[in-house]
Amino acid sequence: MKTPKISEAVVRRLPVYLRFLNELKANEVLTVSSQDLGQKLDLNPAQIRKDLAHFGEFGRKGIGYDVSYLIEKIRAILKLDRVMNVALVGAGNLGRALSNYNAYLKDNMKIVAIFDNVPSKVGETVNNLQVQPMSELASTVKNREIRIGIITVPAAEAQNVADSFAAAGIEAILNFAPVILKVPSHIRIHHADFTTDLLSLAYYIEEEEEHE
Amino acid sequence: MKTPKISEAVVRRLPVYLRFLNELKANEVLTVSSQDLGQKLDLNPAQIRKDLAHFGEFGRKGIGYDVSYLIEKIRAILKLDRVMNVALVGAGNLGRALSNYNAYLKDNMKIVAIFDNVPSKVGETVNNLQVQPMSELASTVKNREIRIGIITVPAAEAQNVADSFAAAGIEAILNFAPVILKVPSHIRIHHADFTTDLLSLAYYIEEEEEHE
């Protein structure tokens, strides 16, 4: 049976739910209401009930959602029950910072290889991974069955890295370089851009001021 | 006249439009169609027309949108025509990486101060800013009229930083620490989490495989 098609907005919210649910589980909380989820995650409880209803009726009136069950269900929908190896290109400040997140990448998703084309960086150890030269990208992607690539190089080099990822058979890319990249249509690319978050914050500041 | 209330999803897309429009302008492109915007930004052209229609009828059939006019309009809506100073706490890899983005933060939004509570980091220069001790946060926020705070400290310290921001009068926070923070209700907080982007990418990889 195929999972019904889920909107992009919902797919992007599921990991947010998952993160909070994992926190609750670590604190031995057994059930959670859509009100509590909404308050904690700054979302409308009705929206949360609607999101979660995509996957069947989990919640029970007056009791809420079973935390462990919901975690399992979301993990299955996001297919985090399978190995999903990640390669990162760009061992600068951002690449190093992101590789620190490995500890938070629960389940089977891990950054397993880091690449850079700067000779002085090759061979350095970043979070237990040795930085490899770009010439090893294709063979490492194949041998380690890497399916996702992260780009943390400067804007001017990002398209080259995307091309290398595409040639190596990477299926999805998370791009942090502040430039829009072209990739073949079978590759899913997300552009991560913290300036987007910052600029949209400004909208809310001024809004609140005007309404006061 | 007040700007009509715009949904969070649209507000989050506006900076993405803005970035691409600025690129077009730099390349001396004068007009753009919703089809071109959609293709470049991986959005449905109908969605784009709907988003932009919030702000009056910009587009003209067969000609498209006037790039410069659309930039001005979006800047006004996001209120990027005003000074919006930003403080960053946490001069580690991520903080350093983010402060590099200052060059891309066009307009009046800039990181103008960096803080850290690690003595060895205080006084270091990061992208032309000297790292200041946390004891100077409140006075600097006041003197520089800083309204937005960015948190790039480890998870265990993030709530303390959020509390310090709140006490100093910061109005909005962008949190990169992988933990959900509590702030007073008048403060807008966005949680930036690259693991969310990564985990949602996995959903699409597997989806495509199943449909093949």
Judge whether B210 lies within some domain: no
Q: What is the pLDDT of residue A165?
A: 98
Q: What is the pLDDT of residue B206?
A: 59
Mean pLDDT of chain A: 85
Mutation site for B-interface testing, chosen from A195, A207, A208 by largest number of B Cβ within 10 Å? A195
Residue of chain B minimizing CA distance to A107: B199
Q: How far is A211 from chain B (nearest CA, A)?
A: 9
pLDDT tens figures, A125-171: 998 899 999 999 999 999 999 999 999 999 899 999 999 999 999 99
Q: What is the pLDDT of residue A29?
A: 93
Among B204, B89, B206, B184, which residue's Cα sits nearest to residue A11?
A: B204
> Are B49 and B144 found together in one domain?
no
Last residue of a domain, one of B77, B95, B115: B77
Judge whether B3 lies within some domain: no
Last residue of a domain, one of A59, A77, A95: A77
> Are A90 and A190 found together in one domain?
yes
Mutation site for B-interface testing, chosen from A110, A146, A203 by largest number of B Cβ within 10 Å? A203
> Are A170 and A93 found together in one domain?
yes
> Are A119 and A160 found together in one domain?
yes
Judge whether A56 lies within some domain: yes
Residue of chain A minimizing CA distance to B176: A194
Q: What is the pLDDT of residue B142?
A: 97
Query: What number of other Cβ atoms are within 10 A of residue A96's Cβ?
Result: 22
> Are A132 and A48 found together in one domain?
no
User: Which residues are bridge partners to A87 per DSSP?
Assistant: A113, A149
- Flag the least confident range among A15-19, A190-194, A208-212: A208-212
B93/A101 touch (CB, cutoff 8 Å), yes or no: no
A109/B198 touch (CB, cutoff 8 Å), yes or no: yes
> Are A118 and A177 found together in one domain?
yes
- Give burial (CB, 10 Å; 0-12/13-18/19+) of A62: exposed
Q: How far is B161 from chain A (nearest CA, A)?
A: 18
Judge whether A24 lies within some domain: yes
Q: What is the pLDDT of residue A81?
A: 79
Residues of chain B neighbouring A196 (CB-CB closer than 8 A): 12, 15-16, 19
pLDDT tens figures, A93-129: 999 988 887 766 666 788 999 999 999 999 999 988 9
Rounded to whole angstroms, how far apart are CA atoms A14 and A6? 10
Q: What is the pLDDT of residue A196?
A: 79
Confidence of residue A1 (pLDDT cuts 50, 70, 90): very low
Q: Which residue has the higher pLDDT, A183 or A202?
A: A183
Last residue of a domain, one of B39, B62, B77: B77
Q: What is the pLDDT of residue A52?
A: 83
The annotated binding site of A is made up of: 90-95
Q: What is the pLDDT of residue A109?
A: 83
> Are B93 and B191 found together in one domain?
yes
- CATH at A24: 1.10.10.10
Residue of chain A minimizing CA distance to B196: A15
> Are A122 and A72 found together in one domain?
no
Q: How far is B137 from chain A (nearest CA, A)?
A: 20
Q: How far is A135 from chain B (nearest CA, A)?
A: 25
> Are B108 and B171 found together in one domain?
yes
Percent of chain A topping pLDDT 90: 43
> Are A108 and A185 found together in one domain?
yes
> Are B30 and B130 found together in one domain?
no
Model confidence at A30: pLDDT above 90: yes
The list of chain B residues with pLDDT below 50 reads 1-2, 208-212
Confidence of residue A2 (pLDDT cuts 50, 70, 90): very low
- CATH at A138: 3.40.50.720
Among A172, A195, A210, beta carbon nearest to B204: A172
> Are B88 and B73 found together in one domain?
no
Q: What is the pLDDT of residue B136?
A: 98
A80/B190 touch (CB, cutoff 8 Å), yes or no: no
Among B40, B97, B200, beta carbon nearest to A180: B40
Judge whether A3 lies within some domain: no
Report the Cα B150 to chain-centroid distance in Å.
10
Judge whether B163 lies within some domain: yes
Q: What is the pLDDT of residue B211?
A: 44
Judge whether B153 lies within some domain: yes
Model confidence at A212: pLDDT above 50: no
Confidence of residue A56 (pLDDT cuts 50, 70, 90): low
> What's the total number of domains in chain B?
2
Judge whether B124 lies within some domain: yes
Structure tokens at A66: 């079973």
Range of the domain at B152: 84-195
